[in-house]
Amino acid sequence: MKNKDKKLSKKNFSEWYHEILALADIVDDRYPVKGMLIYKQWGLFIIRETQRRLESLLEENGHQLVLFPVVIPENILGKESKHIAGFENEVFWVTHAGKNKLDVKLALRPTSETPIYEMFRLWIRSHKDLPLKVHQSCAVYRYETKHTRPLIRGREFLWNEGHAAHKDEEDAKKNINEIKKIYSKLIQDFLFIPFLINKRPEWDRFPGATETYAFDTIMPDGKTLQIATVHNLGQNFSKVFDINFEDETGEKRFVHQTSYGPSFGRLLAALIAIHGDDLGLILPPKLAPIQVVIVPIFYKDSDKDKILDYAKKIEAKLKEMNLRVYLDLSDERPGAKFYYWEMKGVPLRIEIGPRDLANEEITIARRDTKEKISIKFSALEKIFDIFSDFERNIKEKAKKEFQSKVFEANDLETLKEKAGSGICISGWCGNEDCKVKIEEFTSILGVEEGKEKKCVICGKKGIEIRTGKPY
pLDDT digits (tens, 9 = 90+) for 250-275: 999 999 999 999 999 999 999 999 99
Same-domain pairing of 377 and 259: no
Contact 137, 173 (CB under 8 A): no
Q: What is the pTM of this model?
A: 0.96
CATH of the domain at 357: 3.40.50.800
Rounded Cα–Cα distance for residues 238 and 161 (Å): 18
Last residue of a domain, one of 214, 240, 275: 275
Same-domain pairing of 17 and 43: yes
Same-domain pairing of 269 and 299: no
Rounded Cα–Cα distance for residues 232 and 409 (Å): 30
Would 395 be classed as within a structural domain?
A: no
Count of C-beta atoms within a 10 Å radius of residue 251 = 10
> How many domains are there within the chain?
3
pLDDT of residue 451: 96
pLDDT of residue 80: 79
pLDDT of residue 146: 78
Residue type, 134: V
Rounded Cα–Cα distance for residues 251 and 51 (Å): 40
- Secondary structure (3-state) at 247: coil
Rounded (10°) angle between helices 382-403 and 264-275: 90
Range scoring the smallest mean pLDDT among 82-91, 437-446, 459-468? 82-91
Q: Measuring CA to CA, which residue among 344, 379, 369, 353 is closest to residue 294? A: 353
**Helix or strand holding residue 56 (H, E):** helix 41-60
Give CA separation, 22 vs 3, 7, 342, in Å: 10, 13, 15
Across 382-404, average pLDDT: 99
Summarised one tens digit per residue, pLDDT across range 228-246 is 999 999 999 999 999 999 9
Would 457 be classed as within a structural domain?
A: yes
Summarised one tens digit per residue, pLDDT across range 102-126 is 999 999 999 999 999 999 999 999 9
Across 187-208, average pLDDT: 97
Residue 1: pLDDT band by 50, 70, 90 thresholds? low
pLDDT of residue 305: 94
Count of C-beta atoms within a 10 Å radius of residue 176 = 19
Q: Is beta strand 156-166 parallel, antiparallel or unpaired with respect to 224-234?
A: unpaired
CATH of the domain at 451: 3.30.110.30
pLDDT of residue 7: 77
Same-domain pairing of 321 and 424: no
What is the number of residues in the chain?
A: 471
Would 346 be classed as within a structural domain?
A: yes
Would 4 be classed as within a structural domain?
A: no
Alpha helices, H only, 161-300: 169-189, 236-241, 264-275
> Using omega within 30 degrees of 0 as the cis cutoff, is the peptide bond preceding 284 cis?
no
Same-domain pairing of 261 and 298: no
Same-domain pairing of 160 and 308: no
Across 291-300, average pLDDT: 94
Would 296 be classed as within a structural domain?
A: yes
Buried b (16+ CB within 10 A) or exposed e, 283-299: bbbbbbbbbbbbbbbbe
Rounded Cα–Cα distance for residues 218 and 406 (Å): 9
Give CA separation, 127 vs 123, 163, 441, in Å: 12, 17, 49
Same-domain pairing of 249 and 344: no
pLDDT of residue 144: 87
Same-domain pairing of 268 and 316: no
Structural domain boundaries enclosing 463: 406-468
Would 137 be classed as within a structural domain?
A: yes
Phi-psi region of 35 (alpha: psi -120 to 50; beta: other; left: phi over 0): left
Same-domain pairing of 174 and 238: yes
Contact 193, 262 (CB under 8 A): no
**Helix or strand holding residue 249 (H, E):** none
Give CA separation, 28 vs 32, 149, 289, 404, 469, in Å: 11, 12, 18, 33, 27
Summarised one tens digit per residue, pLDDT across range 139-168 is 999 998 778 899 999 999 999 999 999 999
Count of C-beta atoms within a 10 Å radius of residue 358 = 11
The whole-angstrom distance between residue 342's C-alpha and the CA centroid of its chain comes to 23
Radius of gyration of the chain (CA): 26
Same-domain pairing of 56 and 194: yes
Would 2 be classed as within a structural domain?
A: no
Same-domain pairing of 39 and 106: yes
Q: Is beta strand 132-141 parallel, antiparallel or unpaired with respect to 64-65?
A: parallel
Summarised one tens digit per residue, pLDDT across range 124-134 is 999 999 999 99
Rounded Cα–Cα distance for residues 324 and 348 (Å): 11
Return the HEC string of 72-141.
EEHHHHCCCHHHHHHHCCCCCEEEEECCEEEEEEEEECCCCHHHHHHHHHHHCCEHHHCCEEEEEEEEEE
CATH of the domain at 62: 3.30.930.10
Q: For the chain, give the percent of residues with pLDDT over 90.
A: 93
Q: Measuring CA to CA, which residue among 373, 352, 334, 341 is closest to residue 296? A: 352
Rounded Cα–Cα distance for residues 433 and 355 (Å): 72
Q: Is beta strand 100-108 parallel, antiparallel or unpaired with respect to 132-141?
A: unpaired
Same-domain pairing of 344 and 422: no
Would 401 be classed as within a structural domain?
A: no
